[in-house]
């Protein structure tokens, strides 16, 4: 049998099916920008619900034909339910093996965590057992003042930030996952801390920083100008200090900010519909963003349940989505369209009617600001590399990166 690590290509190349378990809606934190508006400490997944979901998925191998799978765990804070996650993963491994399932040789477990419980004995035992098939992302927003501005403890009066609780676990995390990246979220209140926060994360030994602005309509007058200024300041620091050789930041990608051809580049950015999420009640969703606790004003979109399976008719609209079917004309004609992202769940939540075919354009001005700063970054970097005679060497060792749909 080929070694598993030699053939689990699909999840790396983005062709994996993502199965998300919403194991709890509880969290120790009350992050101000969190889209989960219905978090609570009552809705937690039972083992019976999890087992039924796994059995349904593995029993319908024809309907889940992707080469690889990512078994994803979210909350709330998923590690609150570490006992359940551990039991789920053990069962998945056993069932894939005894069924001779095609995913057995190409699977990944993925956990998105706030990092607070990372060093606990149970979490560490789980990591050691699954390390060769495990990805863990810890959310840390940057410097203490930026992180603590938004990522605060639940029910803390006055507000208490969580930076110190997370930072203590970063060295252990990086020793176990040296190539791991962190996710940073930007909202209107903390734009001014972007540059210092990315550099701070580099100083902690985090080489890959993935950043996104929130998709909700929170942006104020002048936010785009400040955003561009911060990104240019960051670009100068990365280039002048040579960080570009060993560190990356998702703000700067060479192929964003270009027109998109409506025939060859008409893919849906968002992966909803190609994903599958299951919650504590046993309901299936096209993505966790369509569950009730993720929506401000709309009804959840349920496509099935663990007892009756998936209703293909309810899933079909998501499989027909592409860029042109949901975008206004200004987005279709935009000269800097590439890399402009959207979230299907936010599109639905912000739409005038109960439709998934109306794209939200709340981040339009922020994307354009990013494109201007991105052009500055690559122009300055390539001028420097050409003067040093290193451009060809750099291009060979750093393949062009593009923004990838979720």
Q: Cα separation of 144 and 236, whole Å?
A: 22
Q: How many CB atoms lie within 10 A of CB 129?
A: 14
Instruction: Tell me the average pLDDT across 201-222.
Output: 94
Per-residue model confidence (pLDDT) at position 267:
87
- Structure confidence at residue 399 as a pLDDT band (50, 70, 90): confident
pLDDT cut 90: percent of the chain above it: 85
343 shares its domain with 377:
yes
299 and 361 assigned to the same domain: no
Q: Are residues 127 and 186 in the same domain?
A: no
**Which stretches of 131-169 are DSSP H helices?**
144-150, 163-167
Regarding whether 365 and 306 lie in a shared domain, the answer is no
pLDDT, tens digit, for every residue of 159-201?
999 999 999 999 999 999 999 999 899 999 999 999 999 999 9
**Domain endpoint, select from 286, 320, 354:** 320
Mean per-residue pLDDT, 217-231: 97
> For residue range 44-78, what is the model confidence (pLDDT) as tens digits?
999 999 999 999 999 999 999 999 999 999 999 99
Q: What is the mean pLDDT of residues 299-322?
A: 95
* 133 contacts: CB under 8 Å, gap ≥ 6: 4, 8, 107, 108, 109
Rounded CA separation 166/173 (Å) = 10
257 — alpha (psi -120 to 50), left (phi > 0) or beta? Answer: left
| pLDDT average, residue stretch 209-231 | 95
Does 183 share its domain with 171?
no
Cα 237 from chain centroid (whole Å): 26
Same domain, 29 and 63: yes
Q: What is the pLDDT of residue 37?
A: 82
**Is 248 in the same domain as 277?**
no
Whether 295 and 312 share a structural domain: yes
Are 93 and 170 in the same domain? yes
Per-residue pLDDT reduced to its tens digit, 323-355: 999 999 999 999 999 999 999 999 999 999 999
Q: Give the chain's domain count.
A: 2
Q: Taking residues 270-286, what's their average pLDDT? A: 95
Residue 4 binned pLDDT confidence (cut-offs 50, 70, 90): very low
Over residues 385-394, the pLDDT tens digits come to 999 999 999 9
Greatest alpha-carbon pair distance for the chain in Å reads: 64
Lowest mean pLDDT among 21-25, 92-96, 152-156: 152-156
Which CATH number is 81's domain given?
3.20.20
* Residue whose token pair is 């689990």: 8
More confident call, 317 vs 405 = 317
Average per-residue pLDDT for the chain: 92
d(CA 367, CA 59): 43
Per the CB < 8 A criterion, the answer to whether 335 and 323 are in contact is no
Q: Are residues 227 and 259 in the same domain?
A: yes
Residues 128 and 10 in one domain: yes
For 105-110, what is the mean pLDDT?
Answer: 96
85 has a pLDDT exceeding 70: yes
Same domain, 183 and 168: no
Range of the domain at 359: 179-269+323-406
């Amino acid at each position: 049998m080929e070694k598993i690590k030699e053939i689990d290509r699909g999840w790396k190349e983005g062709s994996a099916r993502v199965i998300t378990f919403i194991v709890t809606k509880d969290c120790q934190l009350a992050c101000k920008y969190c889209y989960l508006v219905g978090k609570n400490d009552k809705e937690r997944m039972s083992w019976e619900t999890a087992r039924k979901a796994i059995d349904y998925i593995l029993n319908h191998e024809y309907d889940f034909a992707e080469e690889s799978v990512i078994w994803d765990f979210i909350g709330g804070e998923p590690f609150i339910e570490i006992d359940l996650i551990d039991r789920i993963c053990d069962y998945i491994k056993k069932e894939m093996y005894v069924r001779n399932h095609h995913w057995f040789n190409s699977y990944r477990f993925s956990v998105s965590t706030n990092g607070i419980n990372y060093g606990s004995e149970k979490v560490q035992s789980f990591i050691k057992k699954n390390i060769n098939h495990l990805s863990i992302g810890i959310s840390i927003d940057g410097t203490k003042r930026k992180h603590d501005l938004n990522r605060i403890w639940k029910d803390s009066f006055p507000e208490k930030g969580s930076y110190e609780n997370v930072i203590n676990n970063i060295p252990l995390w990086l020793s176990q996952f040296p190539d791991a990246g962190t996710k940073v979220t930007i909202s209107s209140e903390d734009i001014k801390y972007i540059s210092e926060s990315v550099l701070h994360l580099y100083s902690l030994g985090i080489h890959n920083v993935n950043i996104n602005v929130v998709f909700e309509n929170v942006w104020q007058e002048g936010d785009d100008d400040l955003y561009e200024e911060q990104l240019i300041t960051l670009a100068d620091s990365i280039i002048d200090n040579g960080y570009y050789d060993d560190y990356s930041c998702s703000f700067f990608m060479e192929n964003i900010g270009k027109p998109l051809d409506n025939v060859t580049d008409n893919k849906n950015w968002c992966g909803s519909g190609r994903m599958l999420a299951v919650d504590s009640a046993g309901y299936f969703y096209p993505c966790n963003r369509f569950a009730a606790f993720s929506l401000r004003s709309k009804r959840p979109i349920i496509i099935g349940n663990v007892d009756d399976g998936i209703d293909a008719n309810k899933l079909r609209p998501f499989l027909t989505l592409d860029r042109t079917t949901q975008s206004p004309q200004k987005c279709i004609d935009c000269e800097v369209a590439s890399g402009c992202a959207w979230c299907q769940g936010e599109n639905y939540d912000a739409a005038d009617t109960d439709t998934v075919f109306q794209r939200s354009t709340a981040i339009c001005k922020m994307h354009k600001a990013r494109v201007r700063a991105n052009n500055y970054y690559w122009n300055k970097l390539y001028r420097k590399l050409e003067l040093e005679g290193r451009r060809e060497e750099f291009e060979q060792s750093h393949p062009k990166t593009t923004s990838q749909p979720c």
